[in-house]
Amino acid sequence: MYKMDQTKTPIFDALMEYVKRDTIPFHVPGHKKGDGMDNKFKEFVGTNILSIDVTVFKLVDSLHHPKGPIKEAMMLAADAYGSDMAFISIHGTSGAIQAMIMSVVGEGDKIIIPRNVHKSVTAGIILSGAVPVYMQPEVDKNLGIAHNVTPETVEKTLRENPDAKAVLIINPTYYGVATDIKKIADIVHSYDIPLIVDEAHGPHCSFNEKLPMSAMQAGADICAQSTHKIIGAMTQASFLQVRAGRVDINRVQQIMNLLQTTSPSYPLMASLDVARMQIATKGRELLDKAIELATYARREINKIPGLYCFGEEILGQPGAFSFDPTKITVNCKGLGLTGYELDQILADEYHIQMELSDLYNILAVGSFGDTKEKMDKFISALKEISDRYYGTRPAIGNVLDLPGIPKRAVTPRQAFNGKKRCVPLKESVGLVSAEFLLAYPPGIPIVCPGEIINEEVIDYVQALKDANLYVQGTEDPNVEYIKVLEM
């Protein structure tokens, strides 16, 4: 099904050739293959990684003007994912998302986005000067997590904003829940605008049919993927996949060049190149193993009193169309512990580190790097903790319904650049917020920068505090004060 030979790893191979030639380095970095580096770091990391920490020259190619091995690696990645071009981001998916947004919208253009986006989306909107039109995602009040937006929400928002220039969705969420992305792609394309996708948590989706459909398979126009989060690349190495047509590939290259360093890390790029080879050639079997192990863990965790690890049974709820079984979300509401507490106990007492925690849940990211032995240690730690806490503490309060989206006064860029002052939250009605206010759970903003604070917002923050739930986002950790714009 691939057009190119996916066993090839051109960036890594060029670096191996550089090492084989025993090249004398009169180029940066100044540690010169580690010879000039202090032993404190070198003795731990070893010299191999330092010997391929090089800079731009013909043999290893240039990220900003790729013509050799980097160009070939980009084309191989595009072939593996079914896109027309794959750009390498060494600024993680955050950098790829900023470039993705700047490629499709400019100053004053409307972009439709879910309200619970990652901060890199907000950064992209500030950098581009675009005007966000928000969609409320669906919330699972029992789990205390936000799922996705539904196709119906996308359709309604587009009907109300036919002048929008692009739609962004998340596929899948951090917790592995995906919406009906194919249906959304068809709706968005009926307006002849691009669907752009934050696929930070889905770079493996194309390679195993038990996983949610990938953005490229669904016909999306661009997607940013954290190859480093889920499959074998090193931290910071991500792809930006582009389909030609509604998006101009040359403009994407220009914007990537505008945003990225002129000294990209070759070890990072080589790790990405090899990770693409691995997932393209062995993805199905490796992911089968990861899915099997995570499914086993889910089954065992669901036998432990006070814990619940959701699976396919949540599908069919609004915003939950398909599910990535490698994500192990453990809901600990029934234990009377918060996710934050459970996370800390696992880290401090068992030296088991979760990916994230919220008020109700902890999230373990599963991958083909896991083993049965390690999974069993996790399960038995959870059993011990349940034995200690189950039935000893009252249950934790429920998620509150979100208030409506406040009116917007200025764009996020104007809010970011505007002059600010700090006022007591209770006296801020009618003023324009310069900060976020986020309700945890489910991690959705109540107010975004540039929106007008109203009575409902103030009452909601009080209700969250009264229910011992969390509200965050302001510089003031107690959320008694908020920064507003001087208008």
Ligand X SMILES: Cc1ncc(COP(=O)(O)O)c(C=O)c1O
Binding site for ligand X (CB under 6 A): 92-94, 97, 118, 120, 170, 174, 198, 200, 226, 238
Handedness of CA 16, 22, 27, 33 (dihedral sign): positive
Nearest CB to ligand X, comparing residues 42 and 118: 118
Q: How many CA atoms lie within 13 A of 202 on its CB side?
A: 33
The residue of the chain with the least Cβ separation from ligand X equals 92
Could you tell me if 229 and 203 are in contact, meaning their C-beta atoms sit under 8 angstroms apart? yes
Nearer to ligand X, 33 or 201 (CB): 201
Question: What minimum distance in Å lies between the beta carbon of 93 and ligand X?
Answer: 3
Comparison of 186 and 355: residue with beta carbon closer to ligand X: 355
CB of 229 to ligand X, least distance (A): 6
The contacts of residue 331 (CB under 8 Å, 6+ apart) are: 142, 143, 144, 307, 308, 309, 310, 360, 361
CB closer to ligand X, 96 vs 330: 96
147 in Cβ contact with 289 (< 8 Å): no
Cβ proximity to ligand X: between 191 and 440 the closer is 440
Q: Nearest to residue 479, comparing CAs of 430, 435, 418, 414?
A: 435
Q: What's the min distance (Å) between Cβ of 96 and ligand X?
A: 8
Grouping H, G, I as helix, E, B as strand and the rest as coil, residue 421 is: strand
Give dist(CA 402, CA 422) in Å, integer.
Answer: 25
d(CA 448, CA 430): 14
Give the separation between CA 447 and CA 457, rounded to whole angstroms. 8
Q: How far is the CB of 133 from ligand X (least distance, A)?
A: 19
* Strands (DSSP E) found in 61-129: 85-89, 110-114
Contacts for 23 with CB less than 8 Å, ≥ 6 apart: none
The count of other CB atoms within 10 Å of the CB of residue 101 is: 31
Preceding amide of 29 cis, omega within 30 = yes
Smallest gap from residue 240 Cβ to ligand X (A): 11
If 0-12 CB within 10 Å is exposed, 13-18 middle and 19+ buried, where does residue 268 land? buried
Per-residue DSSP letter, 401: P
- Cβ 36 to ligand X shortest distance, Å: 31
- In terms of CB distance, is 118 or 210 closer to ligand X? 118
Nearest CB to ligand X, comparing residues 34 and 441 = 441
**Shortest gap between Cβ of 35 and ligand X (angstroms)?**
32
The crossing angle, in degrees rounded to 10, of helices 181-189 and 151-160 is 20
CB of 261 to ligand X, least distance (A): 14
Give the residue with the Cβ less far from ligand X, 130 or 307. Answer: 130
* Alpha carbon distance 230, 224 (integer Å): 13
At closest approach, how far in Å is the CB of 179 from ligand X?
13
The backbone torsions φ and ψ at residue 40, rounded to the nearest 5 degrees and listed phi first, read -50, -45
Beta carbon nearer to ligand X, 174 or 266: 174
**Is 149 or 484 the residue whose CB approaches ligand X more closely?**
149
One-letter amino acid at 332 equals C
Distance of CA 431 to CAs 42, 56, 130, Å? 54, 50, 22
CB-nearer residue toward ligand X: 69 or 95: 95
| Distance in Å, CB of 113 to ligand X, minimum | 12
Cβ 61 to ligand X, closest distance in Å? 23
Q: Is the CB of residue 50 less than 8 Å from the CB of residue 34?
A: yes
